[in-house]
Chains A and B, each alone.
Chain A
Amino acid sequence: MATTTAENGVAAGRRISLGRARWLWVALVVLALLPIVGGKTGLISDYGFLQLSLMIVYAIAVLGLILLTGFNGQISLGHGAFFAVGAYTSAVLIDQMNWPSLATLPVAAIVCFLVGYLFGLPALRLEGHYLALATFALAVAVPQILKYRHFEWFTHGVQGINIFKPDPPFGLPLSGDQWMYLVVLAVAVVMFWIARNLLDSRTGRAMTAIRDHTLAASTMGVNVAHYKTVVFGISALYTGVAGALHAIIFEFVAPDSFRFELSIAILVGAVVGGIASLPGAVIGGVFVQVIEKYADALTKKITAAVNLPLDLEPWTIYGIALIVLMYTMPMGIAGGLALLWRRLKGS
């Protein structure tokens, strides 16, 4: 009796995951068809596709941080710095050496992995909030370094670098923004797939073991130093690729794009989405783009609609949304939804 229930449970679980996989595929196909359906009918403008692409880009960046913080227990307040390094690697290669845009992605990935790995070495000695401060310093320093007078010949200082995004190949009947949306989507799918497999592997188990109990993990023979630095590198790689994609679709990089607010935004995205969850990264990416960009406009509209006598600051809605979310869904939106789903199932 007991065994059959268990077996049923397993089967049900498998069915659910199969069902989930099917839904994932459906969602991906719908997303991939958007340029044809939404673009051709004029439902979604090129600017709309840019917005969608940016959401996906931020999802990749948030995923990088989730791997580090959510699955390895290392806190970073400076992922905007890796985002910037990726973006500038791409932009400088395109601008100075006329590289094709997409060929710069692997280079940005490698550069960011190395930077992250090297930064991870000394950072190993720092735990918890000390590491948070060290990474924060990095985030504050990077925009200034990009403006540094002797780097200006390739960074163009505060003026930033203008690049043009690639045209769709083979004469595909797509606009540049629609094509790049597909590219970004494909890159994201691959990156998420790799992340899922990584977490499912020995390495993934070692990562979470270090997060849960570092001492116990090292007793079990996990090389803590090695894993921590490599995870730092991988995390930087993810965020760096997101940065490179951002540079290409946005066609512009400037030190101002990568102020420390960006690092905070990525962290907030990770926490709001769900710090130890892959779907959480997607939700976090959407949150970063939507709330950041529209909180201002929304605040204005609400002020006008309700005829509020006071002048609300543009960030009011953002703050309120954050507080409400943290109180109602401490595990992030992904965690909250999972809990809700279980409750509904249970009742």
Chain B
Amino acid sequence: MTQTTRRMLLAGVGALALALAASPASAQKKYDEGATDTEIKIGNTNPYSGNLSAYGTIGKAIDAYFKMVNEQGGINGRKINFTSYDDGYSPPKTVEMVRKLVEEDKVLFVFQTLGTPPNTAIQKYLNAKKVPQLFVATGASKWGHYKDNPWTMGFQTDYVTESIIYAKHILANVKDPKIGVLMQNDDYGKDYYNGFKTGLGKDADKLIVQLSTYEPTDPTVDSQMIQLKNSGANVFFNITTPKFAAQAIRKAAEIGWKPAHYINNVSTSVATVMKPAGFENGQGILMAQYLKDPTDPQYHKDKDFLEWKAFMQKYYPNGNLTDGSNGYAYAVSNLLHVVLKQCGDDLTRANVMKQAANIKGVQLPMVIDGIKANTSPTDFYPLQSLKMHRFKGESWEPFGEVISGEATN
């Protein structure tokens, strides 16, 4: 009975497909573990606890986004089942949680796992298992190495591109630069630092007068800031995550150090960095960004901003409307939405990867106008452009043109 109905249904669908002159492949449904006629399972890890828990809002906002998608009927008729675990930004915990996601929860792929060390820890495993590691929440340049890791893809403009832009800006605008660098002692920090040195060129070692590092588990960076001030640097490149960025900005003001201050866009959220640091302490700080800052009034009439705001109020009412991370989550979720739509009824892991590498000129919401997502089988860097910003009053003010970097395979 059911057999016949199903067969009849299939025949009907086939006939319909033919009648509509659609490609016959579209009637063929293909699934890997984690996808069915009714559901797509997606896994994620985020630091909901620990030192970097400020990022945890990204996981919550993504969850809210897919709640909205499901309420609107899902993607191609399938509901999104988004499972997110706390890893506290601790790589061993990430390994365990991702194994749980793949082996026990049986997700189709993992999406937006956060942080460079956690993603590095799971990359080998996921590539060996051929489970896509999509749009990871870190800007390390290595996530675009499609030849070594064909199942991994980044999202945001990578750190190398970003720091080259800073280096060029310093060389063009600061007379006789003596540069002090504060760096988180891990791959993420080193990626920025190496890109920065590349950007400075031959004289890099002469221009950088002091490199101070800290561990993500350290309580403060006070002593490093004093060290940097005493080095006599007149330029400060601040490679830190939000909590430490706020500490560094505050400490610099406290000890009366006023260098030309460049901060990595990892830590430019007004809510989690600039406000805790004290607005008066952050005036004039420079950074390059691809996201729209939700606190900047110039964006407040944009259509995508209003949509995002309505989404936040309805689906994530506890979320902070001044936190750029929530805009980021909205943008990256939207990109995944586009990819899954493109996948159609072929929800195999291979096709998810294929469609992720087939994004053509998508303007994402909450991303600065003119910065478009593009990928191809040889370009695993979706976003690659930035705009310079300066902190003024209580928000970031953009200036200059959109600057594009090259793929750094």
Contact A251 B117 (CB under 8 A): no
* Docked-complex contact B186 and A162, CB < 8 angstroms: no
Interface size class of A (residues with CB under 8 A): 20 to 34
Q: Using known A-B contacts A147-B185, A252-B92, A314-B49, determine if residue A48 contacts B104 with beta carbons closer than 8 Å.
A: yes
Cβ-defined contact, B125 with A158, below 8 A: no
Partner of A47 from B92, B99, B124 at Cβ < 8 Å: B99
- Asked whether any CB of chain A lies closer than 8 Å to the CB of B254, the reply is no
Complex contact A46–B103 (CB within 8 A)? yes
Residues of B within 8 A of A257 (CB): 91-92
Structural contact, B104 and A45, CB atoms closer than 8 A: yes
Interface string of B108-123 (1 = CB under 8 A from A): 0000000001001100
The size of the chain B interface, using a CB distance under 8 A, is: 24
CB proximity to A under 8 Å, residues B89-114: 90-92, 95-96, 99-100, 102-104
Neighbour of B91 across the interface among A46, A164, A256, A296, CB < 8 A: A256
Q: Are B95 and A158 in contact (CB under 8 A)?
A: no
The CA-CA distance from A159 to B49 in the complex, in Å, is 20
Known: A157-B185, A158-B117, A162-B121. A256 touches B92 (CB 8 A): yes
Expressed in whole angstroms, the Cα–Cα distance for A42 and B231 within the complex equals 62
Asked if A50 is at the interface of the complex by the 8 Å CB criterion, the answer is yes
Interface residues of B in 177-215 (CB under 8 A from A): 185-187, 215
Q: Which residue of B lies closest to A296 (CB)?
A: B86
User: How far is A264 from B2 in the complex, measured between Cα atoms in Å?
Assistant: 58
Q: Which residues of B contact A164 (CB under 8 A)?
A: 124, 128
Residues of B within 8 A of A256 (CB): 90-92, 117, 217
In Å, the complex CA distance between A252 and B98 comes to: 13
Given A159-B117, A159-B120, verify A250-B104 contact (CB < 8 Å).
no
Chain A: CB-nearest residue to B89: A256
A249 to B117: give the CA distance in the assembly, Å.
20
- Among residues 1 to 54 in chain A, which have CB atoms less than 8 Å away from a CB atom of chain B? 45-48, 50
Q: Shortest CB–CB separation between residue B274 and chain A, in angstroms?
A: 26
Q: When the two chains form their complex, are residues A252 and B186 in contact, meaning their CB atoms are under 8 A apart? A: no
Contact indicator A158/B186 (Cβ below 8 Å): yes
Distance between A61 CB and nearest chain B CB, rounded to angstroms: 15
Which positions 149-194 of chain A face chain B at CB distance < 8 Å? 157-160, 162, 164
Residues of B within 8 Å of A162, CB to CB, are 121, 124-125
Residues of B within 8 A of A48 (CB): 104
With A157-B185, A256-B90 as contacts: A50 and B121 at CB distance below 8 Å: no
Q: Which of A45, A158, A164, A257 has the most CB of B within 10 A?
A: A158
Q: Flag if B103 contacts A252 (CB, 8 Å).
A: no
Q: Is A254 an interface residue (CB 8 A)?
A: yes
Given contacts A157-B186, A159-B117, contact A250 B95 (CB under 8 A): yes
CB-CB < 8 A to A144: which residues of B? 215
The residue on B at minimum CB distance from A259 is B217
Query: Which of chain A's residues has its CB closest to B184's CB?
Result: A158
Chain A hits for B120, CB < 8 A: 159
A47 touches B91 (CB 8 A): no
B217 contacts which chain A residues (CB < 8 A)? 256, 259
A295–chain B nearest beta-carbon distance, Å: 12
Q: Which of A157, A160, A293, A296 has a CB less than 8 Å from the CB of B121?
A: A160
Report the minimal beta-carbon distance from B141 to chain A, rounded to whole angstroms: 15
Residues of A within 8 A of B124 (CB): 162, 164
Which A residues between 106 and 154 are near B, CB-CB below 8 angstroms? 144, 147
Return chain A residues, CB-CB under 8 Å to B100. 47
Question: Is B187 a contact partner of A50 (Cβ separation < 8 A)?
Answer: no
**Taking CB as reference atom, which chain A residue is nearest B123?**
A162
Minimum Cβ distance to chain B for residue A50 (Å) = 6
Complex interface: chain A residues within 8 A of B92 (CB) = 160, 250, 252-254, 256-257
**How distant is B11 from chain A, measured CB to nearest CB, in Å?**
33
**Quick check: B121 and A252 within 8 Å, CB to CB?**
yes
Q: Are B125 and A147 in contact (CB under 8 A)?
A: no
Chain B, 73-100, CB within 8 A of any chain A CB:
86, 90-92, 95-96, 99-100
* CB proximity to A under 8 Å, residues B124-160: 124-125, 128
Complex formed: what's the CA distance from A256 to B96 in Å? 13
Within the complex, what minimum Cβ distance (angstroms) separates B182 from chain A? 16
Chain A residues contacting B215 (CB-CB under 8 Å) are 144, 147, 158
**A47–B106 alpha-carbon span in the complex (Å):** 11
Q: Chain A residues with Cβ under 8 A from B117's Cβ?
A: 158-160, 254, 256
- A159 vs B124: C-alpha distance in the bound complex, in angstroms? 13
Write the nearest CB–CB distance from B190 to chain A, whole angstroms. 9
**Cα A253 to Cα B215 with chains together (Å):** 17
Q: In the docked arrangement, what's the CA distance between A250 and B95, Å?
A: 8
Instruction: Give the Cβ gap from A35 to chain B, nearest Cβ, in Å.
Output: 15
CB under 8 Å from chain B, chain A span 236-293: 250-254, 256-257, 259, 293
Q: How far is the CB of A38 from chain B (nearest CB, A)?
A: 13
Could you list 11 further interchain pairs (A-B, Cβ under 8 angstroms) beyond the known A158-B187, A251-B95, A253-B92?
Answer: A47-B99, A147-B185, A157-B185, A157-B186, A159-B121, A162-B121, A251-B125, A252-B95, A254-B121, A259-B217, A314-B86
Can you give 9 contacting A-B residue pairs, CB < 8 Å? A47-B99, A47-B100, A147-B215, A157-B186, A158-B216, A159-B120, A251-B125, A256-B117, A257-B92
Chain A residues with CB under 8 Å of chain B are 45-48, 50, 144, 147, 157-160, 162, 164, 250-254, 256-257, 259, 293, 296, 314
Q: Nearest 7 A-B pairs (CB), nearest first?
A: A47-B103, A257-B92, A47-B104, A162-B124, A158-B186, A254-B91, A46-B103
